[in-house]
Amino acid sequence: MKVLHVEAGMHLYGGALQVVFLLRGLQARGIDNVLACPAGSAIAQEAAPHARIAALPMKGDADVMLVGRLRRLMRQLRPDLVHLHSRRGSDIWGAVAARLEGVPVVLSRRVDNPEPPWLARLKYRLHDEVVTISDGIRQVLRAEGVPEAKLHCVPSAVDTERYRPDRGALAWFRQTFGVQDDELAIGMVAQLIARKGHATLLDALPAVVAQQPRLKVLLFGQGPLQQELAQRIAADPLLARHVRLPGFRKDLDRVLPCLDVVAHPAFMEGLGVSLLQAAACGVPVVAGRAGGIPEIVRPGLNGELIEPGDAPALARELGKLLGSPELRRAYGQAGRQWVMAHFSIDAMVEGNLAVYSGLLARRRQG
């Protein structure tokens, strides 16, 4: 089986990382993978051991010419199917190209933001099958009129060998991020965009600091809100003392086990790869009850959930965990067990492969 994968993202964020996991697993199962992605993208380098790379210009939703570029690539490769992994135009223009070339097409949907039902019915008519990374996303699409038979929930995965409870780098962590030996550390790993809820965390911090004055808060990530967040932090003496913006990190497997709690008060979230990574590292999570997050964070087991935007509730739950090493330890152990049981890479690969096989079998019968 030859599969043409299309990923339009430039950075190795959660979705692109899942594509690398999938390519690696499919290759091990004898699948011939080709990845179409932007030239110079982070995924091009990471995926190269597992797929042939076809670097193409990908300019976003208005890039109608992507149809022609992908059609030429399909004629050259003659893939058995096309798997579209991102939006930024590839979800629509990639599907149009596949339709025009008569190639079956699968779309992975990784976000839970709703679309107008009329648009959803038109858009998803282009795709033979739609893979959602959480049941929350599947429910959104079903409510918008996408046929149930077309929807397949295959959760994202976490590499539990790489992400594991190992605080051996604690001294490095404290020195690198300016965390004193007697300080607790809250981390948030997310793009710096409004829907991730950074503002809610900053709103909650005065109450948290009142309980835990020896505290550092590390906001990992990059994005359009970076300057706005930096200005807010600099303008508030309390935030300036306690909050840091370390930027985007490629070494989260070293960072996450050294955190005491991960906060993720998102308003919208397809699933939350950083939460899977945190749980695999044995770190408890306090997060927003949004999208697929409740499929990872189980209240009373491995973390707590709040209503998005509820800063007092976030402060209360963070304070509860920061004040109890025993509770943090129990939640951390349960979190690792949960992700190992429900979010393995093998299960994700097999789930996608089952979608491929079913689609091609129906095509042959048709």
Greatest alpha-carbon pair distance for the chain in Å reads 68
Identity of the amino acid at 300: G
User: What's the pLDDT score for residue 12?
Assistant: 81
Cα separation, 32 vs 51, whole angstroms: 7
User: What's the pLDDT score for residue 119?
Assistant: 86
Note whether 296 and 207 are within 8 A (CB): no
In the predicted model, is pLDDT for residue 366 greater than 80? no
Cα separation, 77 vs 51, whole angstroms: 13
User: What's the pLDDT score for residue 58?
Assistant: 94
Cα separation, 255 vs 80, whole angstroms: 41
The per-residue pLDDT for range 261-279, each reduced to its tens digit, is 999 999 999 889 899 999 9
Question: What average pLDDT does range 24-34 have in this prediction?
Answer: 98
In the predicted model, is pLDDT for residue 13 greater than 80? no
Note whether 92 and 123 are within 8 A (CB): yes
Cα separation, 198 vs 269, whole angstroms: 13
User: What's the pLDDT score for residue 82?
Assistant: 98
Note whether 49 and 25 are within 8 A (CB): no
Q: Which domains does the chain have, with CATH numbers?
A: 2-157+344-365 (3.40.50.2000), 167-342 (3.40.50.2000)
What pTM, to 2 d.p., does this model score? 0.84
In the predicted model, is pLDDT for residue 294 greater than 90? yes
Q: Distances from the Cα of 156 to the Cαs of 15, 111, 177, 350, in angstroms?
A: 8, 12, 29, 12
Tell me the average pLDDT of the chain.
95
Note whether 306 and 265 are within 8 A (CB): yes
Give percent above pLDDT 90 in the chain: 90
Q: Distances from the Cα of 57 to the Cαs of 19, 72, 296, in angstroms?
A: 19, 13, 35
User: What's the pLDDT score for residue 194?
Assistant: 97
